[in-house]
């Protein structure tokens, strides 16, 4: 089965971070990014008393993971949803609070490995990149219809692409002749547009543009802005959250939410800080933790990963 090629990133460290919250009977853990189910399977195995709720926007991922997690029966509830829908999903299931939440952000191994999804720049495929192929606009539509200034902004912000203006100028020139439909043409255009020096650094020169298009097509950052606070709010006191991100903008968003939750919000100068101003979160990682060299050697997709964890230490007093 296709899950055999999937190595979950920083798996043991994620399990260790969540363990203190999940070893109690009746614990509920949410895997917000089910993918091929590697993290979910490990959670169910490691914490035999826990119940899993797993979300994914990709129906094919849900189908494959459903097969993988079938032996766990009713302990696993799989839901077709985007991770910012977590509060609604929990409400529908009648779950008030959860003990653990895991996010493994970015694109799943399955999406990268299935050529016809258009995520990978190494194979020619339709420029789709939608994680949920039943809704939204494709990468080709973004390339063919967005104004040049907006394309430059996306490539710079989401891809950290220094040559955004050059690439977009070439895109605009080429799309006027014929709309974009396949990835190979875009990869070739990027190679031709970049100066020699830019081609010599950082792997495939199309990597940053593809990442930027994927984040735009799936609204990943705006979804994450809603999802992480929603997940923190869903945690019971003593509950823990672990987030794996693969992009500096994702990591910054997670850092900001955790830092805000871990700060005391009292006006300066109070001799005693009242309960309502005390921090709601305790940080479990010093900064962002990185994968080991051994892990990167085993799974090159782990290389950019950044892991942050936090524990809910008190209720919000509104």
CATH of residue 210's domain is 1.10.150.170
pLDDT at 233: 96
Q: What is the DSSP string of 36-72?
A: TSHHHHHHHHH-TT-EEEEEES-HHHHHHHHHHHGGG
Contacts of 75 (CB under 8 A, 6+ apart): 44, 50, 51, 52
Q: Give per-10-residue mean pLDDT for the chain (318 aa).
A: 61 96 95 94 96 93 94 96 96 97 75 51 80 85 97 93 95 96 92 78 80 90 94 97 92 96 86 86 96 91 93 82
Is residue 312 within 8 A of residue 283, CB to CB? The reply is: no
Q: Which pLDDT score is estimated for 3? A: 39
Residue that finishes a domain, picked among 169, 188, 217: 217
User: Does 276 reside within a domain?
Assistant: yes
**106 and 224 fall within a common domain:** yes
If asked whether residues 244 and 262 sit together in one domain, one would say yes
207 and 237 together in one domain: no
Q: Is 111 annotated as a binding residue?
A: yes
Residue 66 assigned to a binding site? no
pTM assigned to the model: 0.84
**Is 146 marked as a binding-site residue?**
no
38 annotated to bind ligand: yes
The single-letter DSSP state of residue 178 is S
Is 31 part of any known ligand binding site? Answer: no
Does the annotation place 211 within a ligand binding site?
no
Let me know if residue 166 belongs to a domain. Answer: yes
208 and 234 in a common domain: no
Number of domains making up the chain: 2
* 146 and 228 fall within a common domain: no
Examine the fold and report which residue of 150, 183, 217 is the final residue of a domain before the chain moves on. Answer: 217
Domain of residue 172 covers 133-217
Question: Which long-range CB contacts under 8 A does 76-80 form with residues at least 24 apart?
Answer: 76/40, 76/44, 76/51, 76/52, 77/51, 77/52, 77/53, 78/34, 78/54, 79/53, 79/54, 79/55, 80/55, 80/56
56 is in an annotated binding site: yes
Q: Are residues 156 and 68 in the same domain?
A: no
At 247 the pLDDT is 86
Q: Are residues 42 and 74 in the same domain?
A: yes
pLDDT at 148: 97
Same domain, 101 and 226: yes
User: Which residue, 195, 217, 239, sits at the end of a domain?
Assistant: 217
């Amino acid at each position: 089965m296709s899950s055999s090629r999937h190595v979950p990133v920083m798996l043991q460290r994620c399990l260790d971070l969540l363990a203190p919250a999940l070893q109690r009977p009746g614990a509920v853990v949410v895997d917000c990014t089910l993918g091929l189910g590697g993290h979910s399977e490990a959670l169910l195995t490691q914490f035999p008393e826990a119940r899993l709720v797993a979300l994914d926007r990709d129906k094919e991922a849900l189908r494959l993971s459903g097969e993988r997690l079938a032996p766990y029966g009713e302990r696993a509830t799989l839901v077709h949803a985007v991770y910012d829908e977590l509060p609604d999903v929990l409400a529908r299931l009648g779950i008030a609070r959860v003990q653990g939440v895991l996010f493994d952000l970015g694109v799943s191994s399955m999406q990268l490995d299935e050529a016809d999804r258009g995520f990978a720049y190494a194979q020619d495929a339709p420029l789709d990149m939608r994680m949920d192929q039943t809704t939204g606009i494709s990468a080709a539509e973004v390339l063919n219809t967005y104004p040049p200034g907006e394309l430059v902004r996306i490539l710079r912000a989401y891809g950290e692409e220094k040559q955004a203006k050059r690439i977009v100028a070439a895109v605009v020139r080429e799309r006027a002749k014929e709309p974009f439909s396949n990835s190979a043409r875009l990869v070739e255009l990027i190679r031709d547009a970049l100066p020699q020096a830019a081609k010599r650094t950082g792997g495939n020169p199309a990597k940053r543009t593809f990442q930027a298009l994927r984040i735009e097509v799936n609204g990943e950052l705006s979804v994450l802005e809603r999802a992480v606070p929603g997940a923190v709010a869903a945690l019971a006191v003593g509950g823990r959250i672990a987030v794996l991100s693969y992009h500096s903008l994702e990591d910054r968003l997670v850092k900001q939410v955790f830092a805000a939750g871990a700060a005391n919000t009292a006006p300066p100068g109070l001799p005693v800080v009242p309960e309502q101003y005390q921090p709601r979160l305790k940080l479990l990682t010093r900064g962002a933790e990185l994968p080991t060299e051994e892990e990167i050697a085993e799974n090159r997709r782990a290389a950019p990963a950044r892991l942050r964890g936090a524990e809910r230490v008190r209720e919000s007093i509104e």
